[in-house]
Structure 1
Amino acid sequence: MRMSAIRWLSSALALALAVLPAGAETATFPARSGSGAGVTAWWQGKVCPGDAVFVRLALGENAPSGKIGGSLEFEKDGKKVGTAEFYEVPDSSGRGRRMALAGIPLSSYLSAGKGTATARLTAGGAEIQPAMMPIEIVAKEFVKETIQLDAANTAIKTNDSDERWRQISKLNKILGTRTDADVFSLAPMLPPTGATRRTSFFADRRIFAYSNGKSSTSLHYGIDYGIPTGSKVRSCAAGKVVLAEMRITTGWSIVIEHLPGLYSLYYHLSKMDVGVGDMVSAGQQIALSGATGLATGPHLHWEMRLNMEAVSPDFFTGDFTFEEAVRNP
């Protein structure tokens, strides 16, 4: 949505801007007596609500061969916040170690406080030394806004047709697909446009005011860039195009897979330059921006989904997979 929306900022504009992850924490967890192999772990010690908890592990020299598996779990206040499965990634340091990565999306409603991430890795079915890592959730405030919709946008927002639900089901099926071999990019991601003016932010708390006097509440899943129709849109990272089509709500839309369970989404386009199955590189032009679908004016909506959940796109512009940390210990 564009800035035509009425906004209330709870404090300074800085609160709406991204809080990028701090430098990576690292620790080695030696093997227990007789257990075989230990692990070295990298993680972010501080994250915000709406970010993600990523952990990268390097197996010790005595690790068994065979398929890497196991799970990552994040707990806070004695309750399980989320879990994710590990998948194997290459060792960019050139040392030839076997490595694994997993990420857990965090709700933007998660309260501040301290939690613990526990990694239980397996290799060839054998259990590797568990690793427990402290993580602090740092408080973040989000924008509240009311968006006035005209009759045309009200009709789109309230559309309850079979076709719209078919489109929703198709997208959810794609976002719920995870293929462990699909490791296309481990690098920090690029913004999808060179423009810097944002007209809506991740996790804005929204009220849609309909033209008929009714209203509904919603959460904004991405970042909106206020750019003219026809502006170049680039892929934020290398990956595979898994959806490219016209949708009722989001207009011309593109979805790209980057890692197992990790997807970028680009909405309200005026023209698409890629199709399903195409492999794209970071920074490659994939489309032109527009105002198709539910839009109060020209803009680009950029969204990131991890294990189906929306995560702050800004989080992924940092070293979220710890490539730099692994390469430069």
Structure 2
Amino acid sequence: MNRPTRLRNNGVIRGLVRETSLSMDDVIYPIFVVEGEGVKREIPSMKNQFHLSVDMLDEEVGVFKSKGIKSLLIFGTPGYKDHKASSAFDCDGIVQRAVRKIKEIDSEMLVITDVCLCQYKDDGHCCVYHKNIQIDRETTLEILRQVALSHALAGADMVAPSDMMDGRVGHIRKVLDDSGFEHVSIMSYSAKYASSFYGPFREAAHSVPSFGDRKMYQMDIGNSKEAMKEMALDVMEGADILMVKPAQLYLDIIKKAEERFDLPIAAYQVSGEYAMIYNAVEGGYLDRRAIYESLLAIKRSGASIVISYFAKELKALIELYG
């Protein structure tokens, strides 16, 4: 008679037959860089996550590496904002300086940059609007091209457009190829939902919209077929990796994407998901294994890459529970 429990008798057997596992090779750690010197300031809504000035990266990159982190996703908070996001493509902008600094410290660290406008525009939106009514897609795409190219010039290994503008992957691929950066890959935020779980991030990135919301360009939370359409378009335009965001509440989308597309699927465990689990663990309502379980669930659903603020803790959790 078939008895599945025979293969659960002890840890060695369970390890032999485990279908899904996590390693530090699977994980990307997002960081927030800010202007100033000597800044390491905890983000109130994201405990154990920090705003870091570029000079602090000397120490922090070494800490990241000691914890097994091999890939960083950089978000920048600039010193000034305007209607055309000019600080986003400034060759001496906050992200550009951070990229150069990280590569100077550790050339083997994989550096990925978020390509968007919300942190850099004075209205907090990811796009340019005609009179605050309709999206000016062509102007937005032109700025995004400049941002991506400036990141590549600074030394980024990969760019990650998160704006959800139609056609941006193709525009970015073309400008990178035409400028001699064929080797720079694109991880597209392909299925980025207009989620309620971005609140802590918007505090961290100082990117709360000054009017309206982002539902004109981010996806409706009730749609799944549309996510597949978005991903198919990004594949056609030259994306190298497709991303689903958020991750924890959209495991069904990750699964569908993994089954349909041959490209690697990334999933972003976003700030609200992080804050819920972190606070529950710190409050004693869940034990620390819940962190590991949450990340394993994302991997099991089909993601080959997991973007998580828990990356600093994962190496120790793998040793305990992996």
| TM range, smaller chain | under 0.3
Please report the TM-score for the alignment, with normalisation by the length of structure 2: 0.27
* CA radius of gyration, larger in: 1
Determine which structure has the larger strand proportion and give its number.
1
> Larger helix proportion, structure 1 or 2?
2
